Amino acid sequence: MALPSSSAQADQPTGINDFANHVAAQMDDFAHATDIAEEAIARDLEEDDSASEPEDTDGDDESSSGSSTIRQYSMINSYRRPSYVNPGPRGLAIASSSVPERSFLSTSARKRNYLSKREREAVREDERSLLRDNNLLLPKHPRSGSVGPATRIGPKTSSSILRKVRSTPDEESGGYEDASEGDALLGADGGDPDQPYGGLDTPKTINKKWNEAVAAGKINTSWKRETKVLTKSSAPMILTFLLQYSLPVASIFTVGHIGKTELGAVSLASMTASITGHAVYQGLATSLDTLCAQAYGSGRPHLVGLQLQRMLAFLLLITIPISIIWAFGTEILSLIVPEKETARLAGLYLRVLIFGAPGYAAFESGKRYVQAQGLFSINMYILLVCAPLNAFLNWLFVWHLGWGFVGAPIAVAITENVLPIALFLYVRFIDGYQCWGGFDRRALKNWTPMIKLALPGLVMVLAEFLAFEVLTLSSSWLGESELAAQSVLGSITGLTFQIPFPMSVAASTRIANLIGATLAVPAKTAAKVALVASIIVGFGNLFLLSLLRNQIPRLFTPDEEVIDLVAKLLPLCATFQVFDALAANCNGILRGLGRQEVGGYVSLLAYYIIGMPISFGAGFGAKWGLWGLWAGPAVALGVVSLIECVFIYRTSWDRAVEAAKIRNAAN
């Protein structure tokens, strides 16, 4: 990335320059992630004496066809697996690099795709749908038995309709010798109307039609299509995020009805666990997004299991200092929090949570293992079982058995150990076991590339979450009631964020795929749909929180003072819901465009240079209390939304497509 000129730098404060340079260094580490991963897998391949395993093909390997344009415009060229972390109320998407078509580490001369069969089928289905929308392919469901326009005009006329516009000649082929060859483009063979898609939905045919249609400029999309794609892609993720976030919120729900001291303590403990433990695990585990993808495409899928073992060993080692911090949580928090009883209860929560830390680390590593195989729904299935179990255990221990406050962390610790067990059972008996090659001593060495990839992820995750979690810590200096109210407000805004953030992840993937296929106009349409959807969701959250501002707090606590504080502050939190949703989706669009560094710079500037000083100045300097603390994030989110919307509006989408063409040519 180009750095500002020296004259420009001289006009800026030194602190901001240093901060920006540090972030740029982290971004640069991400840019070289693929090279580091290839180095790691190359070492493993040198030490691996097993034979190359058969590739998971689905019959779409056209390498033997001799056509250099078979995948020239395929969305598979820039397919990005959704990568994100969610250790607390704020999710963070990790912009994974585009998936290359060829693994340079392959032990075979054949092309080896990093994508699983499911992912390749999903990409092909997207291409098939767009071909159908643009009348370049017959419908999926044949209508031979109905008397309608398609039946009356017959297959020959249907074929002529599909041939309304001829494509331009392929540049590499040097043109076509006669009209009959040109008619082969865009469906000269209309197919059999009695068959799904006219019987022309084989992988080779779809790839051929797709490339010819894109080259001829005949692929466009509609708001209806992009709305359907966004809804279908984001709905499972929204459910997954809500279920995962319900794990810590269940404790706040349950303990909050004991008293406001307990409510503040559980929130303080959850914040501490998130920053010092959960965010660390998730940030470090992001390196598996690259390492497992490289291992999956190496020709020896069992190396994915090796990467899992290596990361698990690393995270278990990291658990030692994390456990020490949690074990002395009471003493550490007593130095920061003025209320000693709150610090004592929070420390008790953290000490019990130590028993769930290994399970949490195992689950975060295991998630990346199955995602490398394209198995993204497993997490949702597991959480559909474990989230209700966690809620039941909280009720059972805290209220039914009468264990009180300590019952909440016990329930969480049990759930965190059940999660990896459930994941193991799914992999062992249902799907995902094919990449496990057994325990391997090599997991105890070759850690350097993994750590190089893990540290930048850790820095980015902590930088994102500290800006919001510091509100909980700061509110403890305002009093018990304010800390309890902050616990409720943080939980509510965290829940509402679990809707627009998954939408941004889905939008990012869709835009990246369309840009990779050199479809600038459809990508722009997808971005517009994402922005409008985020505004609708934001206003929906605003309306809901404003309407129920007096009822929602009672779900968390019976304390009237806390309820009154929350009810007064909810209108402010409701107001910035629109900016929150808009900022999340703007960041998603920037990731899809490959300009995630812009979102990173803007967010860090807004949160730390603008938002945090406003929070402390208004909250403590002007003595506005919680109003002042929440004013900072509200202003910061408004700044992020404004700057990123302007940047996206002024972005050259054609330039993004040209960059995609260069990447495609390199592959």
In percent, how much of the chain has pLDDT > 70? Answer: 73
Q: Taking the alpha carbons of 84, 289, 120, 171 in that order, is the dihedral positive or negative? A: positive
Highest mean pLDDT among 450-459, 547-556, 595-604: 547-556
Radius of gyration of the chain (CA): 27
**Helix, strand, or coil here: 13?**
coil
Which positions ≥6 away from 111 have C-beta within 8 Å? 61, 63, 101, 102
What's phi and psi for 93, nearest 5 deg? -90, 135
SS3 of 571-586: the string is: HHHHHCHHHHHHHHHH
Q: Which one has a higher pLDDT value, 390 or 21?
A: 390
The reported pLDDT for the residue numbered 65 is 38
**Helix, strand, or coil here: 92?**
strand
pLDDT digits (tens, 9 = 90+) for 23-57: 445 444 444 555 565 566 565 655 665 545 544 44
The reported pLDDT for the residue numbered 627 is 92
The answer to whether the beta carbons of residues 559 and 481 sit under 8 Å apart is yes
Band of the pLDDT at 68, cuts 50, 70, 90?
Answer: very low
The answer to whether the beta carbons of residues 630 and 475 sit under 8 Å apart is no
Query: What span, in angstroms and rounded, lies between the C-alpha atoms of 596 and 428?
Result: 37
Q: What is the DSSP string of 243-306?
A: HHHHHHHHHHHHHTTT-HHHHHHHHHHHHHHIIIIIHHHHHHHTHHHHHHHHHHTTT-THHHHH
The answer to whether the beta carbons of residues 576 and 640 sit under 8 Å apart is no
The reported pLDDT for the residue numbered 667 is 53
Output the CA angle 55-60-66, nearest 5 degrees.
105
Average pLDDT over residues 586-591: 88
What are the angstrom distances between the C-alpha of 622 and each of 338, 441, 479, 625, 639?
Answer: 20, 59, 16, 8, 22
Question: How far apart are the two ends of the chain, measured CA to CA in Å?
Answer: 21
- Tokens 């993994």 sit on residue: 450
pLDDT digits (tens, 9 = 90+) for 155-199: 444 444 343 333 333 333 333 333 333 344 444 455 666 666 666
What are the angstrom distances between the C-alpha of 635 and each of 366, 447, 468, 484, 597?
Answer: 38, 42, 13, 23, 21
Query: What span, in angstroms and rounded, lies between the C-alpha atoms of 382 and 426?
Result: 9
The reported pLDDT for the residue numbered 243 is 92
The reported pLDDT for the residue numbered 357 is 95
Band of the pLDDT at 566, cuts 50, 70, 90?
Answer: very high
Query: With b meaning 16 or more CB within 10 Å and e meaning fewer, what string describes 292-326?
Result: bbbbbbbbbbbbbbbbbbbbbebbeebbeebbeeb
Entry field: residues in the chain:
667
Q: Left, alpha or beta for 54 (phi > 0: left; psi -120 to 50: alpha)?
A: beta
Does residue 391 surpass a pLDDT of 80? Answer: yes
Neighbour-count burial of 416, counting CB atoms closer than 10 A to its CB (0-12 exposed, 13-18 middle, 19+ buried):
buried
The secondary structure of residue 97, as a DSSP letter, is: P
One-letter amino acid of 536: I
What's this model's pTM, rounded to 2 decimal places? 0.79
The reported pLDDT for the residue numbered 531 is 95
What are the angstrom distances between the C-alpha of 362 and each of 309, 377, 419?
Answer: 10, 18, 9
Average pLDDT over residues 562-581: 91
Which positions ≥6 away from 368 have C-beta within 8 Å? 285, 286, 288, 289, 292, 308, 311
CA dihedral 507, 573, 495, 345 (to 10 degrees): 140
The reported pLDDT for the residue numbered 38 is 58
- What does the block give as tokens for 641? 């939304």
The answer to whether the beta carbons of residues 306 and 444 sit under 8 Å apart is no
Output the CA angle 101-104-110, nearest 5 degrees.
65
What's phi and psi for 195, nearest 5 deg? -105, 150
Band of the pLDDT at 62, cuts 50, 70, 90?
Answer: very low
pLDDT digits (tens, 9 = 90+) for 74-113: 777 667 666 666 656 665 656 554 443 333 333 333 334 4
Which positions ≥6 away from 604 have C-beta within 8 Å? 19, 23, 463
Which regions of 344-499 does DSSP assign to beta strands (E)?
A: none
Query: What span, in angstroms and rounded, lies between the C-alpha atoms of 3 and 256?
Result: 49
Q: Taking the alpha carbons of 453, 455, 458, 463 in that order, is the dihedral positive or negative? A: negative
Does residue 460 surpass a pLDDT of 80? Answer: no
The secondary structure of residue 89, as a DSSP letter, is: S
The secondary structure of residue 569, as a DSSP letter, is: H
**Helix, strand, or coil here: 96?**
coil
The answer to whether the beta carbons of residues 475 and 339 sit under 8 Å apart is no
Name the average pLDDT for the chain. Answer: 78
pLDDT digits (tens, 9 = 90+) for 290-339: 777 777 766 677 788 888 899 999 999 999 999 999 999 999 999 988 88
What are the angstrom distances between the C-alpha of 84 and each of 27, 280, 289, 378, 511?
Answer: 16, 13, 10, 15, 17
- What does the block give as tokens for 69? 């344009």
The answer to whether the beta carbons of residues 572 and 634 sit under 8 Å apart is yes
The reported pLDDT for the residue numbered 109 is 32
The answer to whether the beta carbons of residues 106 and 298 sit under 8 Å apart is yes
Cβ neighbours, 10 Å, residue 202: 13
pLDDT digits (tens, 9 = 90+) for 331-366: 999 998 888 999 999 999 999 999 999 999 999 999
Least confident residue range of 147-156, 258-267, 475-484, 641-650: 147-156
What's phi and psi for 373, nearest 5 deg? -100, 10
